[in-house]
């Protein structure tokens, strides 16, 4: 690699690093806010209310993935003059979003009935309005991501959260039930949308260039289809659980899924704000994508594996301590959903690498194979073992189908899997040891949630640090801490 190429790659890495830091900070703050809001709402609302919201959330998540037909990612990786694409991209994103919302308005009663929750229709129609807002801001958000201006996205989402939390809590307190979730989310998205439109510094212009539209749709259509299948994969369980088990058990399952997604949402959201843009630049240089992906997955696993292992073991005390005894049935699914959260992160970053190389059809195939295996597995698992079976089905299909399919697709674009697998081995072994240590403490201790969380969680983290990191690194970190304490 020449000095100029090395400097360019370093510059991209620095920009992506700053963007990731901002995205991570924003995702952490957002998750902390939604966590606090969830604690309050779990005491104001019933499991049935959570179940009705879960049905609406499933529909909104699916529509948010497909409403812009992949325009956001198409703009991020656009290789030609960007100004020529903006009017057409804006027209396509908004037009498809409005059409998608109009279609779903009429489909909402049937979808709610299919999910076993006909009462969710009004919540469905209200919450899915977010896709129209997304259609307005999609291209502006893409430009912010493309330029690694993640700090603007972070601040906008934070200010939106400040609007969301009081709206949801106040409405829940006054008896609005699941509508409080939807109206709070709309408040968040409206406030953030105004800020994104201002900060992107792009005139709101509409137009239609057939050549540009063809290129955007050719790139984005398979991507949108793949993301739509991904949304189906992550939300079909809500529909199946609601249909087979009812709104109350769906409410327990939603709570467990939300808890399992704490770390996944923080890291996954932050990474996805920068990964496509960063990998897209690295893919232009020989061998750089391989190195970037290996380092990204290694760092990701080192951070999430111990959390997944320890919280999976501590599912019951965690749920009871945070939400109370009436939510304890949610723990049946949480242990396995923690494992799923790790798989989702790894698969997500691998698929981002595929998108960055332009291999959107390969990403679509991965999603298609995954969905074909998952849907019957979810139905069988839920029928036989309730919400625990739902979670187990997710894990088995992700491990046996989705990850191998993604590995094959990456190999076909020149990414070797063996170095990535070797880098994952040590944190995997250490996380397993940490989970085993936490399980032993829980097995022999008095069943007091707070005590179990502190003692078992603390021992598990200690075991992970000691086994995952070489002694020389631990000593070096210890000396650095001592030096900073003396200097202060």
pLDDT tens digits for range 224-267: 776 677 777 778 898 899 999 998 899 999 899 988 887 776 66
Q: What percent of the chain has pLDDT over 70?
A: 82
| pLDDT of amino acid 457 | 92
257 or 21, which is more confident: 257
Chain segment 291-338, per-residue pLDDT in tens: 777 777 877 888 889 989 999 999 999 999 999 889 999 999 999 999
Is residue 16's pLDDT more than 60? no
Q: CB neighbours of 368 closer than 8 A, spacing ≥ 6?
A: 226, 229
Chain segment 345-395, per-residue pLDDT in tens: 888 888 778 777 777 788 888 888 998 999 999 999 999 999 999 999 999
What is the signed CA dihedral for 51, 190, 197, 351, rounded to 10 degrees? Answer: 0
Which region among 46-55, 205-214, 261-270 has the lowest average model confidence (pLDDT)? 261-270
Q: Are 158 and 27 in contact (CB under 8 A)?
A: no
Question: What's the token pair of residue 285?
Answer: 């240089």
Chain segment 387-428, per-residue pLDDT in tens: 999 999 999 999 999 999 988 988 887 777 888 888 788 889
Tell me the mean pLDDT in the region 113-137.
90
Is residue 434's pLDDT more than 80? yes
390 or 223, which is more confident: 390
Q: How far apart are CA 415 and CA 356, in angstroms?
A: 12
| pLDDT of amino acid 14 | 54
Tell me the mean pLDDT in the region 151-169.
88
What's this model's pTM, rounded to 2 decimal places?
0.73
Tell me the mean pLDDT in the region 55-74.
77
Q: How far apart are CA 254 and CA 330, in angstroms?
A: 8
| pLDDT of amino acid 9 | 46
Is residue 274's pLDDT more than 60? no
| pLDDT of amino acid 380 | 96
Tell me the mean pLDDT in the region 274-289.
59
Question: What's the token pair of residue 332?
Answer: 């049946």
| pLDDT of amino acid 394 | 95
Which region among 26-30, 281-285, 321-325, 398-402 has the lowest average model confidence (pLDDT)? 281-285
Length of the chain: 488
| pLDDT of amino acid 336 | 95
Among candidate residues 396, 391, 353, 356, the one with its CA nearest the CA of residue 373: 396
| pLDDT of amino acid 223 | 67
| pLDDT of amino acid 227 | 67
Mean pLDDT rounded to a whole number for the chain: 82
Is residue 73's pLDDT more than 50? yes
């Amino acid at each position: 690699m020449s000095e100029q190429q090395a400097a360019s790659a370093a510059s991209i890495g620095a920009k992506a690093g700053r963007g990731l830091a901002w995205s991570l900070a924003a995702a952490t703050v957002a998750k902390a806010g939604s966590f606090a809001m969830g604690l309050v709402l779990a005491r104001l609302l019933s499991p049935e209310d959570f179940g009705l919201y879960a049905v609406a959330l499933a529909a909104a998540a699916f529509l948010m993935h497909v409403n812009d037909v992949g325009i956001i990612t198409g703009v991020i990786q656009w290789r030609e003059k960007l100004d020529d694409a903006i009017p057409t991209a804006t027209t396509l994103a908004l037009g498809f979003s409005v059409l998608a919302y109009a279609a779903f308005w009429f489909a909402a009663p049937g979808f709610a009935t299919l999910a076993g929750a006909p009462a969710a229709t009004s919540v469905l129609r209200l919450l899915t309005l977010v896709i129209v807002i997304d259609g307005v801001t999609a291209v502006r958000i893409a430009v912010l991501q493309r330029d690694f201006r993640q700090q603007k996205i972070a601040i906008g989402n934070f200010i939106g959260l400040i609007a969301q939390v009081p709206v949801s809590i106040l409405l829940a307190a006054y008896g609005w039930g699941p509508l409080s979730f939807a109206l709070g989310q709309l408040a968040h998205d409206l406030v953030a949308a105004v800020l994104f439109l201002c900060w992107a510094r792009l005139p709101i212009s509409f137009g239609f260039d057939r050549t540009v539209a063809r290129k955007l749709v050719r790139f984005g259509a398979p991507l949108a289809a793949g993301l739509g299948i991904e949304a189906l994969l992550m939300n079909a369980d809500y529909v199946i659980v609601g249909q087979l088990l009812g709104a109350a058990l769906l409410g327990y399952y939603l709570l467990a899924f939300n808890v399992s997604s704490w770390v996944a949402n923080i890291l996954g959201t932050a990474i996805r704000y920068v990964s496509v843009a960063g990998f897209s630049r690295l893919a232009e240089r020989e061998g750089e994508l391989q190195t970037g992906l290996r380092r990204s997955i290694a760092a990701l696993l080192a951070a999430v594996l111990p959390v997944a292992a320890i919280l999976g073991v501590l599912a019951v005390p965690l749920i009871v301590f945070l939400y109370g005894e009436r939510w304890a049935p949610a723990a049946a699914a949480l242990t396995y959903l923690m494992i799923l959260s790790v798989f989702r992160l790894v698969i997500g970053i691998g698929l981002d690498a595929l998108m960055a190389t332009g291999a959107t059809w390969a990403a679509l195939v991965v999603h298609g194979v995954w969905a074909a295996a998952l849907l019957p597995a979810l139905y069988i698992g839920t029928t036989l073992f309730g919400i625990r079976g739902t979670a187990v089905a997710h894990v088995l299909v992700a491990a046996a189908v989705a990850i191998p399919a993604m590995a094959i697709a990456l190999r076909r674009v020149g990414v070797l899997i063996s170095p990535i697998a070797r880098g994952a081995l040590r944190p995997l072994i250490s996380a397993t040891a940490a989970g085993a240590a936490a399980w032993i403490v829980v097995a022999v201790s008095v069943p007091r949630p707070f005590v179990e969380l502190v003692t078992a969680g603390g021992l598990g983290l200690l075991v992970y640090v000691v086994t995952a990191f070489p002694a020389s690194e631990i000593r070096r970190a210890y000396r650095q801490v001592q030096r900073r304490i003396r200097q202060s």
